[in-house]
Each structure stands twice: as structure tokens, then as C-alpha cells.
């Protein structure tokens, strides 16, 4: 058995997203076929817990939309080119001894994620992108910002997302990772349902106002709870 979070739009003003941890039967193996079997088991278990209209957001999704929304595939449009969100995220990192490394955005997503400079430049201290500096808190703010901005420019994706109300990422391990594309989509849906998406993307401060100060404390409690049951 394993555990993974299912993210949903928030139905209250105190959180950005709702999250429910689901236990399910994990299918061993690294192949895409095996991962897709685990996704199906996760979604079945979620439905038994009353969660419907679920979309896997990763290359392991069996829905074209879920694959398109993978950070490796979702494009962020710059003035002169379009770059995968994963490459934007990696190239914007600022470390104690270097960064941001803007040339990383011209690599493939896999190459960008594995660039040696991301491991040899000291501790991560923030992000810099398009003239804005981002702190490490709220933890997922910068990732959410670039991910949601990327989707917001693609009306066809926004339209298709209306059919879904819960999101997973089988590759996301909340014990080891902080940023999650499924969570970012759930936040996008929260902003859409509140009617605040356009306003939230006007400025950095407007976007950051969506994050509740209680989130950091709640995240620590959630992390402790998940760590007791997750199959690493």
C-alpha cells in the first residue's frame, strides 16, 4: 500500500486548496505502464472516498489533457519563444553561489532538471524571473505563479479543466518534494471559482495575497501525518 494526496479547489477562505491523503495499492515498477496502473488504483480509492472527476496531471495520465499539463509539456510563452514550465522553474533558481542560470531554459526539461550547477552552487535562496524576486516562502508560490500563468494564456486548456474537480500527480512525494503540478491546478481552479484569477495574475503582491499565513503551520502537520503512511 502507498499514500498520495488528492488536491481539490478550496471551499473556504482559509486555505488555497483542499487536500485529502488517499491510501491505495501501489504497483511496483518504473515503467509508464506500471505507473498508470498505480494511477488507476489511486483514482479508484479516491472515488471510494467520495472524490469524483479526478485528473492525473503527469506524463503518466491516460487523458491527453493531463499529459499536456505536465510541467515538462506545458509551455510558458516569453516574448521570443515558448519554454516548458519545468525549464522556467529551474533556470530561475538563485543559490548562495550563483544563479539564476538563464541558459537552462533552452535545454530540454530533463536536461534542465539535471544541470550540474543546480547541485553545486550552494543552498537555494530564492528565485528571479522576469524582473521579479521571489522568496522561498510561501513554499510553492513561485512554482504556482509560473504554472498558473502558463495555463491562463491557453484558453483551450482552461476550458477543458472545467470538467474536473480533483487532481493527482503519481510522481509527487510530499515527504521529499514541495512543488506539485496537481496542487497548482487545484489552486488555479480555486481562483477561477472565486472569480479572482485575472486579478491575482496582475501583480506579484496580488498573487501572494492568496496564501494564508496558517498554511506553513498546517503543511508541517500534513507532512508529519503523511510521513507515517507513505510508501517511499
At 46-86, the pLDDT tens digits run 999 999 999 999 999 999 999 999 999 999 999 989 999 99
208-231: average pLDDT: 60
Query: What is the residue extent of each domain of the chain?
Result: 2-227
Confidence tier at 6 by pLDDT (50, 70, 90): very high
The per-residue pLDDT for range 169-178, each reduced to its tens digit, is 999 998 899 9
State the virtual CA torsion across 29, 32, 37, 42 in degrees, nearest 10. 100
Burial 99-130 (b: 16+ CB within 10 A, else e): bbbeebbebebeebbebeebeebeeeebbbbe
Residue 229 above 90 pLDDT?
A: no
Question: What's the count of helices (H) and strands (E) in the chain, helices before strands?
Answer: 11, 9
Average pLDDT across the chain, whole number: 92
Confidence tier at 227 by pLDDT (50, 70, 90): low
H helices of 21-154, where? Answer: 32-48, 64-68, 85-91, 109-113, 117-120, 141-152
The per-residue pLDDT for range 87-111, each reduced to its tens digit, is 999 999 999 999 999 999 999 999 9
Q: Please name the residues in contact with 127: beta carbons below 8 A apart, sequence gap of 6 or more.
A: 92, 93, 94, 100, 133, 134, 142
With contact defined as beta carbons under 8 Å apart, do 68 and 179 qualify?
no
The per-residue pLDDT for range 185-209, each reduced to its tens digit, is 999 999 999 999 999 999 999 999 9
Amino acid at each position: 500500500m502507498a499514500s498520495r494526496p488528492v488536491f481539490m479547489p478550496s471551499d473556504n477562505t482559509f486555505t488555497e486548496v483542499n487536500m485529502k491523503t488517499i491510501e491505495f495499492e501501489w504497483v511496483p515498477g518504473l515503467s509508464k505502464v506500471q505507473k498508470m496502473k498505480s494511477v488507476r488504483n489511486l483514482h479508484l480509492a479516491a472515488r471510494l472516498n467520495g472524490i469524483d472527476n479526478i485528473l492525473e496531471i503527469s506524463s503518466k495520465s491516460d487523458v491527453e489533457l493531463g499529459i499536456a499539463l505536465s510541467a515538462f509539456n506545458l509551455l510558458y510563452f516569453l516574448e521570443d519563444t515558448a519554454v516548458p514550465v519545468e525549464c522556467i522553474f529551474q533556470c530561475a533558481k538563485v543559490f548562495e553561489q550563483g544563479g539564476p542560470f538563464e541558459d537552462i531554459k533552452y535545454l530540454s526539461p530533463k536536461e534542465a532538471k539535471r544541470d550540474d550547477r543546480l547541485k553545486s552552487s550552494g543552498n537555494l535562496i530564492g528565485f528571479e524571473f522576469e524582473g521579479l524576486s521571489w522568496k522561498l516562502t510561501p513554499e510553492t508560490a513561485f512554482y504556482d505563479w509560473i504554472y498558473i500563468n502558463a495555463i491562463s494564456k491557453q484558453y483551450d486548456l482552461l476550458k477543458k479543466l472545467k470538467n474536473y474537480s480533483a487532481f493527482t500527480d503519481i510522481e509527487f512525494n510530499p515527504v521529499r518534494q514541495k512543488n506539485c503540478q496537481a496542487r497548482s491546478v487545484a489552486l488555479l481552479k480555486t481562483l477561477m471559482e472565486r472569480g479572482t484569477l485575472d486579478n491575482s495574475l496582475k501583480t506579484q503582491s496580488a498573487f501572494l495575497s492568496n496564501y494564508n499565513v496558517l498554511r506553513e503551520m498546517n503543511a508541517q502537520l500534513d507532512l508529519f501525518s503523511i510521513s507515517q503512511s507513505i510508501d517511499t
